[in-house]
Amino acid sequence: MPDASPIAIRQLLAEDTGPMRQLLRVFGDVFDEPQTYAARQPGDGYLKGLLDGDSFIALAAFAEGEVVGGLAAYLLRKFEQERSEIHVYDLAVSAAHRRRGIATGLFERLKTIAAARGVYLIFVQADYGDDPAIALYTKLGVREEVLHFDIEVT
By the 10 Å C-beta count (0-12 exposed, 13-18 middle, 19+ buried), 4 is classed as exposed
| pLDDT single digits (tens) 88-127 | 999 999 999 999 999 999 999 999 999 999 999 999 888 8
For residues 114 and 126, the answer to whether their CB atoms sit within 8 Å is no
Q: Identify the band that residue 2 occupies on the pLDDT scale cut at 50, 70 and 90.
A: low
Domain positions in the chain: 7-140
How far is residue 126's CA from residue 150's CA, in Å, rounded to a whole number? Answer: 15
- The answer, yes or no, to whether residue 6 has pLDDT greater than 60, is yes
In terms of pTM, does the model score above 0.75?
yes
- The answer, yes or no, to whether residue 83 has pLDDT greater than 70, is yes
* Nearest CA-CA partner of 71 in 13, 23, 120: 23
Q: Give the CATH superfamily of 7-140.
A: Gcn5-related N-acetyltransferase (GNAT) (3.40.630.30)
For residues 137 and 143, the answer to whether their CB atoms sit within 8 Å is yes
